[in-house]
Structure 1
């Protein structure tokens, strides 16, 4: 099990890379092959390959990126809770400005489950 000190170090690396525009590098390094990702109440997406395609599709449709800010983060046993503020324009969804909370569950230094909570 990852203790919160270990998770803090992992999250610091993730935070720095995401802010540098390296979200897909984070995905390749820190997400398990059997990862389950879920947006709000949507059905979960299972497996790294399918989630990689979903992430690449999302990033390919961001037409303007204005801001991403970490507002809060908390650490539990094998779990990270992070609140983000995002402001961008998406080719299909239009302008998006919102707060989002991600809850990631970790095993052996990899994210095995991540769920995103946000208002529409």
Structure 2
């Protein structure tokens, strides 16, 4: 898999298969920054791995995720997701999120998540 479109589609399939951490290890750069809306970015793969684990450990009921749209260009991709789950701290969540990924050397170096409350 060489193109960004192929990589993002594979990453998405891993997430849909419940292998979010496998996708993270395979496709995220060691210096990745990840940001939720206007919150401060989390910097570095180790810190973002912890953030992802905390999120996953707080899911009490996962009802589904669906990819609605995908696009890729030169070192950038975006995915529109539909999520439906219950979270220990946030309660019932059912929303659409746009994830924008910037790629460097075949890995995601920056990801920004956009969604409503």
TM over 0.5: yes
> Which of the residues 17, 20, 38 maps onto 1:20?
17
Counterpart in the other structure of 1:76: 73
Show CA shifts across 1:62-88 (max 9, x none): 000001000011112100011000000
Equivalent pairs, count: 116
Counterpart in the other structure of 1:67: 64
Show CA shifts across 1:14-72 (max 9, x none): 12111110000001111111000000000011000111001000000000000100001
Q: TM-score, normalised by structure 1?
A: 0.94
The separation in 1 between residues aligned to 2:51 and 2:12, in whole angstroms, is 21
Where 2:79 maps in the other structure, the secondary structure is: strand
Is residue 118 of structure 1 aligned with residue 105 of structure 2? no
Segments ≥4 residues shifted beyond 6 Å: none
Gaps of at least 5 residues in structure 1 are none
Gaps of at least 5 residues in structure 2 are none
What is the RMSD of the two structures over their aligned residues, measured on CA atoms? 0.9
Matches within 5 A, 1:1-120: 6-120=3-117
Q: TM-score, normalised by structure 2?
A: 0.96
